Structure 1
Amino acid sequence: MAIFSYATKQDTLAKIIETIMHEGLLTYHPKYSDAPLDLQYRAKQLDKLHKKGAVFAVRNKSHFENGVKGYIITSNETLIKQANLISHFTPNVYRRYYYADDKRQTIKGFEEENLQQINAFVVDIDTKEYSLNDIQLACIDESIGEPTLILESERGYQVYFAMKTPIFISNKNQFRSLKVAKRIAENLKRSLASVEADMYCNDFGFFRMPNNRNVKWFNEYAIYDPATLIAWSQRKDADRGRQLYVVPQKTNSPSLLNTDWFHQLLQTTDVRGEKGQIGRNNYLFTLALVCYQDARDQSYTFDLLDQFNSRLRTPLPVKDLNTIVESAYSGRYHGPKKEYVEQLIELYAPHHKDIKVSFGHTAWYKHKKARKDRERSHLEEWEADITEWITAKKQVSEPFIWRTQKELCNEIGIANSSLNKLLKQSKKLLKTTSGKGRNAKTGWTTVDLYIAYIIWLKKDLGARFAFGIRALVEEQIDLMEHVAGYEVLLEKLRKLHFEQIINEQLTMSESLTGTG
């Protein structure tokens, strides 16, 4: 079902543009406005309070060829009027803007250093293999939270995260604010890797223009203040072992990068990768793992391997190199295997095969036995079984599977004591009870399925969401047990902008526990 009816599309379009643009443009066209004179006068007085700039627009994607053929827009009024005639625009405002030819057809000025303010971060998903629901769940589970806007293109989607207040760009401290904004943009794209966000899309360039045909999702309340985005981006950087302005501290243990064997591996220029041999990808991946185990910053590793790669007789494309470094720093690996490094030395540095390969400490990890070989299954495996069972039986319009605890135990094959222990620590499962006595029913769901259910409700009811769904969700949450997954649910509801319900639940929880 559409987010808004046809009769309200133009009003919604105006609201979208106002939500994104803030006070970066004039309210009305300075010469040819259709607004009443009294509104124009009042708007001019308010416009004087904020510095104004312009955005760039093109009518067709083909106009990006051989210079950018487009035009300059300086008012919200014009942008709203022209929205359905524009294919792409710059949602972020530039301070200087001009035409490069006498016919006023080719536009200039959209360099990053010329940005006046950043109004929105946009992530491009260049595939339709994922549904809107998949994208929204990825935003909530893995990124900053619910997107402000999702637009559909011919080949995919563009996801907007609009700002509550803009990030203003200046040349102070070598464009520090721009560097911070670019790191936020990078982390947003990385956080949506599960839905194949395009890492190489321009951070602050041209994006799809919202119009009456391509808007698939809009929530004017899903906006983010700069401090929240910066704090989130810093946490993402910390998870990946990097900082924006601080050089990482050296570890106390000897650096692996100073070992003879690593030095010899860096001298190789002819990695062949023939059948039965370790090729370029695995070679570079091993070097990246060495850097990762050595606690080196990811950007340092990329620069080091980029230099090494450029010296190879047949270097890898930069895009492939970036993917290799990303994989090495994904957290799925502890470091390179000693025998693998020894094999590389033997293959590509045979004159130095007597070099002792040492990591300074052992890096061997036990593998857990197969489930069938263990007397008791781990709780996380029972959790996976229950999650799979609920997912298979759940309907879109009903978030819970109604079974007594005994019935669930019988269907899954889990002991009641194990289920109780699992519920206390599971961050995925949710349990609710409806009714009392013999009429009581027990409902089971997962955090992700419940959030997907709320997203479905919001899409289905559209503008009526605020009047109906919040009360329903509040009632359902009141009946949920405060198991471990409950806290995770509250955090995801916060990302869905349910602050009022969350605050009420936290207040209730504090009063019950005597804290606060």
Structure 2
Amino acid sequence: MAQAAAQYEPVPVNLGQVYDVILHEGLTTYKTKYSNASLPKRVEAAKIDARSKKGAIFVVRSKADFQSTGVKGYIVTSKETLLEDAPGLTHFTPNVYRQYGYADEARRMVRGFEERNLLQINTFVVDIDTKKHTVQEIVLACMDHSIGLPTLIVASDRGYQVYFALQQPLFISSKNDFRGLAVAKRISDNLKRSLKDVDADLFCNDFGFFRLPKTSNIVFAQLNHTYSMAEFINWSTRCDDSIERPLFVVPTKLSKTSVIDSEWFQALTQAVDVKGQKGQIGRNNTIFTLALVCFSEGWEKSRTFDFLDEYNARLRYPLQGAALQSILNSAYSGKYKGASKEYIEALLEIHVPNGQAIRVNTGRHVWYKFKKDREDRTRSHYDEWEEDIITYITAENNPSEPFIWRTQKEICEAVGIPQSTLNQVLKSSTKLLKTVTGKGRNAKTGWTTVHLFMQHALQQLQTTKAKYRKQLIQMLHEWTEELEQLGGYEKLMASLNQLIFHSIDRLRIDKSFVESG
């Protein structure tokens, strides 16, 4: 597909409201020192801020500030600071961190942006690293294949970033081995998978740095369209059902077979043309995966470094020593239980010839717990009923109009849904539309989806433009024939000149009249 035009039209928004929706109460409202707000406003805001624990976000001034040795940026703890500094910033962390600081005495390199250091998750962000899809196509993909309308779409240099904001933040705790973080990561993964048709980056950091929303780059905004954590979990669970992915994975004993002797591990160590690019995992992920395996095998850190150093030296595009040490330290930090099977399979497919045929075994036996089949449940989820109704409407839809006309009873019988449940689904749905025309016996009820309605509207617009263009061409053709009969081109030009001079004289008269009062 050819690249779409890189131009986009920003939508008018209030940045203060945007940051309120994204950040919730994670930062203080005003600066503790040198605030420009009046004293009464600061006193009132301080009372509200005291109700919840505050954290910080990290910001950078340029994409070049993301360096192999760390991130060059600074820490922001108030919304007032973010609003003031926004024009000079490029990226930020929309999710709030618990602990934060600087890694050097000059206070240039920030530290603390690790997933387990998250205080609260405010939003999920999906990165689309191409502009070959329009904003309208991305919105339709969100409604058609994902959870629904996004809260915000921000344009970047090479693509877009799609925000799905939470109604209330998800607070991260170390209880139950960071179970909340694991759930959030699964939701983030399913959101990225759901938008693969518009080239979502499946390997983008779930809760890292993203483009800072500004008045110049926000191309879609529905700030009142946010989601509860329950909605995200229900939707994500259904996504897992469709690909038979387990709800819970409970590690048990390790396999006695060494993973280092496995076919996939040896195949990765022989892959030397590994670099990677945006939207594709590469050498950093490969080296990190190998390091995790060595760690789980009980290797000493020095032994693993020597092994990775030899592998890095064989690469066509090797990493610098500092970057290699940083990856090793991360793998041996104790924060990771083992290599991800999905990442390994992706690495093999991208960087190893016929790698997709290699069986991956990470050496860890697991138990799986799946949801019951739908027919075995005592009550279907509302979002599943919603999908059934959407499927029925789409199948019955006539391209000539967006609505199908059915009574509530006919819809209930066709889908097999109780009428009380149908009312609840309609009340909470963001994807279904219902209209009633007429009164009494003549009343008719129309049913459609937001996606079908927008498709119909766009088609009508295109049809209208085509008709107008055809009529205009026909009028010009008839006008040309008539002019030829009247005397041809010279008479046309003479008439146009006369019309122009008459218009100029008229403008002069109007101007003198206005000036004279």
* Alignment TM-score, normalising by the size of structure 1: 0.53
In the TM superposition, what are the counterparts of 1:446-485 in structure 2 within 5 Å? 448-452=451-455
Q: 2:65 aligns with which of 63, 66, 90?
A: 63
In the TM superposition, what are the counterparts of 1:382-397 in structure 2 within 5 Å? 390=399
Do residues 188 (structure 1) and 226 (structure 2) align? Answer: no
Q: 1:22 aligns with which of 2, 21, 24?
A: 24
CA contact (8 A) 2:263 2:358 kept: no
**CA separation of 1:194/1:266 partners in 2, compared to 1, >3 Å: closer, same or farther?**
same
Match of 2:174 in 1: 171
**CA separation of 1:450/1:177 partners in 2, compared to 1, >3 Å: closer, same or farther?**
same
**1:230 offset after TM fit, Å?**
1.4
Do residues 76 (structure 1) and 110 (structure 2) align? Answer: no
Do residues 50 (structure 1) and 52 (structure 2) align? Answer: yes
Distance 2:119 2:164 in 1: 18
Residues 446-489 of structure 1: per-residue CA shift (max 9 Å, x gap): 863304467999xxxxxxxxxxxxxxxxxxxxxxxxxxxxxxxx
CA contact (8 A) 1:133 1:452 kept: no
Do residues 240 (structure 1) and 246 (structure 2) align? Answer: no
CA contact (8 A) 2:166 2:228 kept: yes
Do residues 317 (structure 1) and 347 (structure 2) align? Answer: no
**1:302 offset after TM fit, Å?**
7.8
Residues 271-323 of structure 1: per-residue CA shift (max 9 Å, x gap): xxxxxxxxxxxxxxxxxxxxxxxxxxxxx99839959997xxxx853899689
Paired AA for residue 41 in structure 1: V
SS at match of 1:223: coil
Match of 2:341 in 1: 303
Match of 2:95 in 1: 92
**CA separation of 1:23/1:239 partners in 2, compared to 1, >3 Å: closer, same or farther?**
same
Distance 2:104 2:94 in 1: 24
**1:4 offset after TM fit, Å?**
4.5
**1:179 offset after TM fit, Å?**
0.6
**1:244 offset after TM fit, Å?**
3.5
Q: 2:135 aligns with which of 114, 128, 132?
A: 132
Match of 1:40 in 2: 42
Residues 342-376 of structure 1: per-residue CA shift (max 9 Å, x gap): xxxxxxxxxxxxxxxxxxxxxxxxxxxxxxxxxxx
Distance 1:441 1:43 in 2: 51
Gaps of 5+ in 2: 1-7, 252-261, 268-337, 360-390, 405-409, 416-430, 461-517
SS at match of 1:77: helix
Q: 1:142 aligns with which of 119, 142, 145?
A: 145
In the TM superposition, what are the counterparts of 1:412-491 in structure 2 within 5 Å? 448-452=451-455
In the TM superposition, what are the counterparts of 1:274-293 in structure 2 within 5 Å? none
**CA separation of 1:267/1:64 partners in 2, compared to 1, >3 Å: closer, same or farther?**
closer
Distance 2:354 2:184 in 1: 25
Gaps of 5+ in 1: 249-264, 271-299, 326-379, 403-419, 458-516
Distance 1:319 1:204 in 2: 32
**1:17 offset after TM fit, Å?**
0.3
Residues 212-258 of structure 1: per-residue CA shift (max 9 Å, x gap): 1100111111111112111211121122112232569xxxxxxxxxx
**CA separation of 1:244/1:211 partners in 2, compared to 1, >3 Å: closer, same or farther?**
same
Residues 178-231 of structure 1: per-residue CA shift (max 9 Å, x gap): 111111110110111111110010000000000111001111111111121112
CA contact (8 A) 2:11 2:219 kept: no
**1:77 offset after TM fit, Å?**
0.9
**CA separation of 1:324/1:237 partners in 2, compared to 1, >3 Å: closer, same or farther?**
farther
**CA separation of 1:302/1:118 partners in 2, compared to 1, >3 Å: closer, same or farther?**
closer
**CA separation of 1:17/1:454 partners in 2, compared to 1, >3 Å: closer, same or farther?**
farther
Match of 2:510 in 1: none
Identity, in percent, stands at 48
Do residues 223 (structure 1) and 226 (structure 2) align? Answer: yes
**1:444 offset after TM fit, Å?**
11
Match of 2:203 in 1: 200
CA RMSD across the alignment: 4.7
Runs of 4+ that moved beyond 4 A? 1-5, 265-270, 304-310, 318-325, 399-402, 428-436, 440-447, 452-457
CA contact (8 A) 2:18 2:223 kept: yes
Paired AA for residue 150 in structure 1: I
CA contact (8 A) 1:133 1:455 kept: no
Distance 2:61 2:131 in 1: 24
CA contact (8 A) 1:306 1:318 kept: no
**CA separation of 1:196/1:33 partners in 2, compared to 1, >3 Å: closer, same or farther?**
same
* Alignment TM-score, normalising by the size of structure 2: 0.53
CA contact (8 A) 1:84 1:212 kept: no
Match of 1:157 in 2: 160
Residues 308-340 of structure 1: per-residue CA shift (max 9 Å, x gap): 997xxxx85389968999xxxxxxxxxxxxxxx
SS at match of 1:221: coil
SS at match of 2:185: helix
CA contact (8 A) 1:59 1:88 kept: yes
| Structure number with bigger Rg | 2
Match of 2:463 in 1: none
SS at match of 2:64: helix
SS at match of 2:72: coil
Paired AA for residue 351 in structure 2: P
- Aligned positions, number: 321
CA contact (8 A) 2:59 2:74 kept: yes
Do residues 106 (structure 1) and 103 (structure 2) align? Answer: no
Match of 1:461 in 2: none
**1:83 offset after TM fit, Å?**
1.7
CA contact (8 A) 2:264 2:358 kept: no
**CA separation of 1:107/1:233 partners in 2, compared to 1, >3 Å: closer, same or farther?**
same
